[in-house]
């Protein structure tokens, strides 16, 4: 059975999306992306610093990848829209991950401003992937506004605390028609696996992979974790219970009646 | 901006500084030397005399394509068909901006003198077409000068053309141009010169050659050669154009147009590229 995620008119095989920040070099990043056979990567936009290295990150991202610019740095919807338009003008397609953050301590997204930006950008033909706090009403409004997926956080960006928002994300999974993609805070392959088991359509990981001693190996581990979780989700796992359910026959054996 | 351009040489005409030459003669020579704006500022003349001189100057300027401004008095400006009026800080108490605008209409130019950052900021909010700022250097015309320290701030925040004035001559004009000043007003440096026409054209040449302007690139103020092309700005900075996106005054500009876009004073340029991000 071919299990592909259809998003923004594209068929995506690997449900592990990878962010490109914080890698020690573009060369290491390239090897991590290649080794884990990633299909979707995120990038950011920044002012060009003439004095810094003039290497172009796009040349180090495998050709087959869908590039999703994020709007990091945006503090309101206007800035997010401005960044998204700049990204599209750079000629890397029309996908955008909307990220509107004013809170510097927890980097939690502003769902209201994110919604405003989503409305505008979806009308302009962008494939909009909004980073959000897992709130059902906000998610519904984002979908009405034209979001192609919703990206609730697992835990704060870069915190490696795992799938802390599970209860709320599970509600989104059961109620929201577009793919739910957990973004941020997944520090271990087990957390990514857990998201997929719970029914997420994909996960986005950056910090954990980028700052590992061996990012290439951890990228592969995440990719395997995501695959395992996805298979488990599709398998129709049975539920859990407090008491035991024997897995061997309980008929007497070698015992006197 | 349409009524009063940038990079203009502005002569404030006062016969008293003309070494005995009549106003009309000074004006004729200065106009032929290439001044862009002429202001009639004859404090000692009676009204009838002013109106007569004003009419002659108005004709002279019209024929030469020079902007003609009357100092102090909106009614005289109207009477002699001048292009506008210049009001000093004191004049504004007699003729307020709104009343002057009502009298002259929206097609005419209103300019004001400012002598401090505070006055400049007030004028910047008013319905005026240019702002004179000075005296920058010590001058015999005024008994004080405000110095050069606020030039950048004035240029950065100006929403209309700024004319720098006060003690400007051939020895100090370069410094102003280097700092982004585009419009220069002089009195004596032209009117008292032996060769009025030569002095005017020498100033004009400096303005044209040394023209600098202030642009904001990635949030930082920079002084660059006037009318620099966007493509040249990039190559000056050693930025490889591939995969760079440029926003010029909040508008994304396509790569093919970079070699044709000339930067203007106070323009805002953002040069953006992709970096790693989650």
CA B258 vs CA A46, B85, B216, B229, B269: distances in Å? 20, 39, 17, 7, 12
- Number of CB pairs < 8 Å for A and B? 99
pLDDT at B1 over 50: no
Strand locations in A16-111, DSSP E?
Answer: 16-19, 40-47, 66-69, 95-98
Q: B130 and B86 in one domain?
A: yes
Whole-number pLDDT of residue A197: 95
Q: Among A232, A158, A238, which residue's Cα sits nearest to residue A194?
A: A232
User: Does A42 contact B278 at a Cβ distance shorter than 8 Å?
Assistant: yes
Least confident of A176-185, A210-219, B130-139, B206-215: B206-215
Give the C-alpha distances (Å, rounded to integers) separating B188 from A102, B9, B134: 56, 13, 15
Of A19-33, A242-256, B115-129, least confident by mean pLDDT is A242-256
B278 located within any domain: no
What's residue B33's pLDDT? 94
Instruction: Residue B19: count other Cβ atoms within 10 Å of its Cβ.
Output: 13
pLDDT of residue B3: 61
Tell me the shortest Cα–Cα distance from A3 to chain B, in angstroms. 25
pLDDT of A1: 58
Q: What percent of chain A shows pLDDT beyond 90? A: 79
Closest to A46 (Cβ–Cβ): which among B238, B243, B273?
B273
The residues of A annotated as belonging to the active site are: 97
Residues of B in Cβ contact (< 8 Å) with A46: 272-273, 275
**ipTM rounded to 2 decimals:** 0.85
Q: Please state which of the ranges B54-63, B106-115, B238-247 shows the lowest mean pLDDT.
A: B238-247
pLDDT band at residue B159, thresholds of 50, 70 and 90?
Answer: confident
Query: Is B3 inside any structural domain?
Result: no
Q: What is the pLDDT of residues A62-111, one digit of tens each?
A: 999 999 999 999 999 999 999 999 999 888 889 999 999 998 888 999 99
- The residue among B185, B210, B235 that closes a domain is B210
Q: Which of B163, B193, B210 is the endpoint of a domain?
A: B210
Q: Do residues B169 and B241 both lie within one domain? A: no
Judge whether residue A41 has pLDDT over 50: yes
Six token digits for residue B171: 């020895």
Backbone dihedral angles phi then psi of residue B50, each to the nearest 5 degrees: -60, -45
* Contact at CB, A50 and B239, closer than 8 angstroms: yes
Query: Do residues B263 and B182 both lie within one domain?
Result: no
CA-based nearest distance A177→chain B, Å: 24
Buried residues in A122-134 as b, exposed as e (16+ CB within 10 A): beeebbbbbbbeb
Confidence of residue A250 (pLDDT cuts 50, 70, 90): confident
Domain boundary among B165, B185, B210: B210
Task: Report the alpha-carbon distance of residue A117 to residue A128 in Å, rounded.
Answer: 9
Q: Is the pLDDT of residue B216 over 50?
A: yes
The domain that holds B242 is classified in CATH as 3.10.20.30
**Residues B13 and B85 both lie in one domain:** yes
Interchain proximity B276–A44, CB inside 8 Å: yes
Q: Is B255 a catalytic residue?
A: no
In this structure, of A18-27, A162-171, B166-175, B227-236, the range with the lowest mean pLDDT score is B227-236
pLDDT at B223: 83
Give the span between the Cα atoms of B223 and A236, in whole angstroms: 67
Q: Answer yes or no: do B125 and B229 share one domain.
A: no
Of B252, B273, B276, the CB nearest to A21: B276
Q: Considering its fold, how many domains does chain B have in total?
A: 2
- Choice among B113, B188, B212, B228 that is catalytic: B113
Instruction: Quick: pLDDT tens for A9-25.
Output: 999 999 999 999 999 99
- Tell me the residues of B at the A interface, defined by beta carbons under 8 Å apart: 218-219, 237-240, 242-245, 247, 250, 252, 254, 270-278
Name the band, by pLDDT with cuts 50, 70 and 90, for residue A154.
Answer: very high
Across the interface, whether the CB atoms of A90 and B245 are under 8 A apart is answered yes
Chain A residues within 8 A of B274 when measuring between CB atoms? 43-45, 56-58, 69, 87, 90, 92
How close A197 comes to chain B (CA, Å)? Answer: 23
Report which of B232, B235, B221, B236 is spatially closest to residue B267, judged by C-alpha positions. B221
| Domains of chain A, each with CATH number or no CATH | 13-235 (3.20.20.70)
Provide the CATH number for the domain around residue B95.
3.20.20.70
Query: A48–B244: do the CB atoms touch at under 8 Å?
Result: yes
Distance (Å, rounded) from C-alpha B132 to C-alpha B146?
Answer: 13
Nearest CA distance, A237 vs chain B (angstrom): 32
d(CA B85, CA A255): 118
Judge whether B78 lies within some domain: yes
B36 located within any domain: yes
Average pLDDT, chain A: 92
Residues B269 and B188 in one domain: no
User: Shortest CB distance from B277 goes to which of A19, A56, A86?
Assistant: A19
- For residue B255, what are the domain limits? 215-273
pLDDT band at B2 (very low <50, low <70, confident <90, very high): very low
Model-level pTM? 0.65
In a domain, B179, yes or no: yes
Same domain flag for B155 and B219: no
**Can you tell me whether residue B72 is helix, strand or coil?**
coil
Residues B155 and B238 in one domain: no
- Residue B198: pLDDT band by 50, 70, 90 thresholds? very high
Judgement on whether residues B192 and B265 belong to the same structural domain of the protein: no
């Amino acid at each position: 059975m071919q299990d592909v995620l259809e998003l923004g008119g594209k068929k995506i095989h690997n449900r592990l999306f990878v962010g490109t920040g914080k890698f020690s070099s573009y060369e290491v990043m390239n090897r991590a992306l290649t080794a884990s056979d990633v299909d979707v990567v995120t990038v950011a936009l920044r002012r060009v610093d003439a004095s810094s290295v003039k290497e172009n990150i796009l040349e180090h991202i495998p050709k087959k990848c869908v590039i999703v610019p994020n709007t990091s740095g945006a503090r309101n919807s206007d800035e997010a829209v401005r960044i998204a338009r700049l990204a599209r003008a750079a000629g890397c397609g029309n996908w955008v991950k909307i990220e509107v953050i004013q809170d510097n301590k927890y980097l939690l997204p502003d769902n209201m401003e994110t919604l405003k930006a989503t409305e505008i950008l979806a009308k302009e033909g962008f494939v909009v992937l909004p980073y959000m706090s897992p709130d059902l009403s906000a998610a519904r409004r984002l979908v009405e506004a034209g979001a192609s997926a919703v990206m609730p956080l697992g835990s704060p960006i870069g915190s490696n605390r795992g799938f802390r928002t599970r209860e709320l994300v599970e509600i989104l999974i059961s109620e929201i028609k577009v793919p739910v993609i957990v973004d941020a805070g997944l520090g271990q392959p087990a957390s990514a696996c857990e998201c997929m088991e719970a029914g997420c359509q994909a996960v986005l990981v950056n910090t954990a992979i980028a700052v590992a001693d061996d990012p290439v190996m951890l990228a592969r581990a995440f990719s395997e974790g995501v695959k395992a979780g996805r298979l488990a989700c599709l398998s129709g796992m049975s539920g859990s219970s407090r008491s035991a359910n024997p897995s061997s026959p309980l008929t007497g054996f070698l015992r006197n009646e | 901006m349409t009524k009063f351009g940038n990079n203009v040489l502005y002569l404030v005409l006062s016969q008293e500084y003309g070494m005995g030459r009549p106003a009309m003669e000074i004006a004729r020579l200065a106009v032929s030397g290439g001044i862009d704006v002429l202001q009639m500022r004859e404090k000692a003349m009676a009204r009838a005399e002013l109106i007569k001189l004003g009419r002659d100057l108005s004709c002279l300027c019209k024929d030469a394509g020079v902007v003609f401004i009357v100092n102090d008095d909106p009614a005289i400006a109207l009477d002699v068909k001048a292009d506008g009026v210049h009001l000093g800080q004191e004049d504004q108490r007699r003729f307020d901006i709104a009343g002057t605008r009502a009298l002259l209409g929206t097609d005419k130019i209103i300019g004001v003198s400012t002598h401090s950052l505070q006055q400049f900021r007030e004028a910047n909010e008013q319905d005026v077409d240019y702002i004179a700022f000075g005296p920058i250097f010590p001058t015999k015309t005024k008994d004080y000068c405000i110095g050069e320290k606020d030039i950048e701030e004035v240029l950065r925040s100006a929403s209309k053309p700024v004319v720098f004035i006060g003690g400007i001559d051939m020895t100090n004009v370069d410094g102003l141009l280097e700092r982004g000043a585009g419009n220069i007003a002089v009195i004596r440096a032209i009117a008292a010169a032996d060769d009025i026409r030569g002095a005017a054209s020498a100033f004009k040449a400096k303005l044209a050659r040394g023209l600098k302007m202030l642009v904001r690139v990635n949030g930082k103020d920079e002084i660059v050669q006037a009318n620099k092309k966007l493509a040249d700005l990039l190559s000056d900075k050693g930025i490889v154009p591939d995969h760079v996106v440029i926003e010029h005054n909040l508008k994304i500009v396509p790569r093919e147009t970079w070699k044709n876009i000339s930067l203007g004073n106070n323009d805002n340029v953002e040069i953006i590229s992709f970096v790693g991000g989650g």
